[in-house]
Amino acid sequence: MKKEKNIEVTNEYNDSVFLTDGVSIDEIKKGEDTLNVNLPDSYQMNLNAFGQATEESIGKLEEILGFLLPEDYKKFLGEYNGGTSKVRYSKFFVEELNQEISLDVLYGIGVTRTFDLIECYEEFEEDMLPCSLVIGDDPSSGLIVLITDTEKHCVYYWDHSFSFPQSREEENTYKVANSFKDFLNELIHP
């Protein structure tokens, strides 16, 4: 088995950064064979974190949901527990809309009611596909949805307020990224 080299990256805020292999800075600092590399700004977290979710609170969330969350998303909750953009606004691209959408907030566990994953799940549960969770929103009340079902495992943008003319009752959910990690890596910083 080939041993992979770890990449250590620190930004000006000393944040952990999710790398393309799903390893965070904190894990790399504990490992061996560290290689110092400067990565582009797109790999730096532009987020005012809400804190850190505990393994226990993440487990409780999964119990309430009735399904398991992807490891990259659990890792994010454990290190950041959601948050708001440091510089308003980071953006993500929705190809089907040919539109950059501003990220307002990524929700966390046990935070302000408006941004709480459990509160949001309970509010939208009846409108959601199985194995899906609203994990954030944009300033226009569009929602970021993580679907964990094996066939549709991706991050989607749900234009539930019909802000775009392409959206209609039958079709207002658009794929954004193949995983939560990809979603973070593809955020466009202002």
H or E element in which residue 70 lies: none
CA–CA distance, 119 with 82 (Å, rounded to integer): 14
Per-residue confidence at 18, pLDDT binned at 50, 70, 90? very low
Delimit the domains of the chain by residue range. Answer: 6-43, 50-185
Q: What is the pLDDT of residue 178?
A: 92
Contact (CB, 8 A) for 143 and 163: no
Q: What is the pLDDT of residue 7?
A: 38
Per-residue confidence at 160, pLDDT binned at 50, 70, 90? confident
User: Which pTM value belongs to this model?
Assistant: 0.73
The pLDDT of residue 78 is above 70: yes
- Over residues 96-128, the pLDDT tens digits come to 999 999 999 999 999 987 899 999 899 998 888
- 50-185 domain in CATH 1.20.1070.10? no
